[in-house]
Amino acid sequence: MRPRHDPRSHIILTAWLCPGCDVAGRSAPENEPECWNCGGPVVVTARPSVPAAEPAAGSPANS
């Protein structure tokens, strides 16, 4: 599997589903996903790659 995104500008989130509450959410990759409703364990459904919220520090947006 080849990476299609620049890891510096994209992050991989953990998308999950709580079967008990029937709610879904996303967690940062460094965090253990847990349900925001019941705080219980969740089922990971996907790991979407999304653009990072902030540009890397020190790299100017325009040249």
Residues at the interface with Zn ion (CB under 5 A): 18, 20-21, 35, 37-38
Closest distance of CB 59 from Zn ion, Å = 39
Closest distance of CB 38 from Zn ion, Å = 3
Tokens of 10: 């994209």
Say how far apart CA 43 and CA 26 lie, in whole Å: 11
Closest distance of CB 11 from Zn ion, Å = 24
Measured torsion, CA atoms of residues 2, 59, 13, 23, in degrees rounded to the nearest 10? -150
Residue 12 or 21: which CB sits closer to Zn ion?
21
